[in-house]
Structures are given as C-alpha cells and as structure tokens.
Amino acid sequence: MAGRVEGKVAFITGAARGQGRSHALRLAEEGADIIAVDLASPIPNIDYPSSTEEDLAETVRLVEALDRRIVATKTDVRDRDAMRLAIESGVGQLGRLDIVVANAGICVIDDWKGTSEEVWDQTIGTNLTGVWNTVSLTAQHLIDAGGGSIIMTSSAAGLKGLPFLSAYVAAKHGVVGLMRAYATELAEYNVRVNSVHPTGVDTPMGTLGGGNFGPLLEAHPKLGGMLANLLPVEITQPVDISNAVLFLASDESRYVTSLTMTVDAGNTQY
C-alpha cells in the first residue's frame, strides 16, 4: 500500500548514511518530506569511517529523486542550540512535523578497563543525551500538529547486556527509559513513542568488525555466543529496520505506544 505517510514530515537524525539514510528514503517512498541532520564530520575513537558532508548531500539527492522535499543540515545532536535551529528551520520550510526518528548513534568497542572517560562521555552524549535533545525539542511540534509518532533507535543492547560495549549498552538501555517516560507523558496529546531494537545491521557502524572486537572475543570466547542471532542470518539490512520505522510512523500503528520493537533475528532470546 503506497502513501502510508503521505503528506507527513519526518525529522531524522544521523541521516547521512546507514540506517538514517535508509529511514529517510523509506519514509520518502511512502510520501513523507524529510528534515535531516547529521554530524557529517570526523568522530574520534571510533574504528569505522565517519560520515561526511558528501554522504549527507547524497541523502538529499536520493530523497529529491523520489520527488519529495528535504531540508538537511550539518548538526551535532549533542549541541542543543544547533538542534533547535535545525528543527525550527526545517519545520519553518516544510510547514509541520509529524514523525521523529532519533537514530544518530556511535559505537566504540573496548573492555571495561579500556573504556576511557572520553569514550564514556562521547557515547552517552551522542546515544542518550542526543536522543533526549531530539525528542524534547520536537515534541511540541508534534503536539501542535495534533499528534504524531516518535521512534527512538535503541538496540538489542538496550534489552540485554553485550560484551565490550559498556557505554553503548548503558546508553541504549537509557533510551528505553526515555521512551517509556515520554510515551507516558505525551499520550494525552496523541503522540506515540516507541523504540526499535536491531541486531547487527550492515552499515559501517553496525558490522562491529573493526578495532578490538576480534581480539577481545578471542580472549573471552565464552562471551561470543551473546552476539548470535536465533534466525539463520548473521546481519540484517538497513531496510529491515526502516520497514519497522515506517510501521511505527504510519497510522497502521495508531494504537501502538511504549513498545520495545525488536528487529533482531531473535538475538535477545539468548
């Protein structure tokens, strides 16, 4: 069924590539206009390539090729003032806001001894405070529109522990708490709030293939099974998560709120 979010406007963080770009394209395919933000700059400490301004420009090109409007800005989700400006500018140009996808995130792999204060602050700042900035600054726009849908990207690591990702696990569990709190407070305004919990996704961040991960698993082999999926697939595709985001953004889920929606191939069953 085409046009499942026809006439709606979606704000998406981390939209330059990966899951964020996929969400932007999937929602645009179904009729939404897009407000997109991304840091699009080098990120310290991570073992995978950072997104770039060229990546963000490509997201713009791809959305416009679907004959949808898009307003994109280079913005750090940790910078509350910059986020406010990006949101106000996008809503001003596109006229409304109906859908919010708090997707931006980073992942740094190390054991508990190697996780530095800088990595902790950076991860919590992006993956948790960035989500709070996104939701707290957009909620009133959804209320003004008569209701809407907020989708927060958590992780399988938001529902269970995973090794060598302590800051990431803490942040993603925190996202679930934010989701439940906002779902409770915003329900009276017909704003639904849910979280999505992927397993590994085939993106630069989601493969978890770089840096210390291999050697850490070799040194602690008993922990490797925690990363296994129940279904016979090692990694999912971004569109698999985008399809869940589309469902939660659309009126098909009009009575779904405070849901931790797993798209994890059964990973959290272990």
Q: What is the CA radius of gyration of the chain?
A: 18
Contact in structure between 180 and 138 (CB atoms under 8 Å): no
Predicted confidence (pLDDT) per residue in 78-88, tens digit: 999 999 999 99
Displacement of CA 221 from its chain's centroid (Å): 30
pLDDT tier at 244 (50, 70, 90 boundaries)? very high
Count the residues in the chain.
270
What is the rounded distance in angstroms from the CA atom of residue 178 to the CA atom of residue 11? 18
What is the pLDDT, as a whole number, of residue 116?
96
Please give the model's pTM, rounded to 2 decimal places.
0.96
Predicted confidence (pLDDT) per residue in 124-170, tens digit: 999 999 999 999 999 999 999 999 999 999 999 999 999 999 999 99
Catalytic residues: 168
Q: Work out the mean pLDDT of the chain and round it to a whole number.
A: 95
Token pair in block for residue 78: 């940790």
Token pair in block for residue 233: 């697939």
Query: Mean pLDDT lowest for which of 133-137, 176-180, 219-223?
Result: 219-223
Phi-psi region of 67 (alpha: psi -120 to 50; beta: other; left: phi over 0): left
DSSP states of the chain as a string?
---TTTT-EEEEESTTSHHHHHHHHHHHHTT-EEEEEE--S--TT-SSPPP-HHHHHHHHHHHHHTT--EEEEE--TT-HHHHHHHHHHHHHHH----EEEE---------TTT--HHHHHHHHIIIIIHHHHHHHHHHHHHHHTT-EEEEEE--GGGTS--TT-HHHHHHHHHHHHHHHHHHHHHGGGTEEEEEEEES-BSSTTTT--STTHHHHHHHSGGGGGGG--SSS-S-B-HHHHHHHHHHHHSGGGTT--S-EEEESTTGGG-
What is the rounded distance in angstroms from the CA atom of residue 32 to the CA atom of residue 245? 13
State the average pLDDT over residues 190-195: 98
What is the pLDDT, as a whole number, of residue 1?
47
Contact in structure between 226 and 163 (CB atoms under 8 Å): yes
Beta-ladder partners of 101: 12, 151
Token pair in block for residue 130: 């960035």
> What are the CA-CA distances from residue 110 to residues 114, 124, 208, 239 (Å)?
6, 15, 11, 28
Query: Mean pLDDT lowest for which of 15-24, 167-176, 224-233?
Result: 224-233
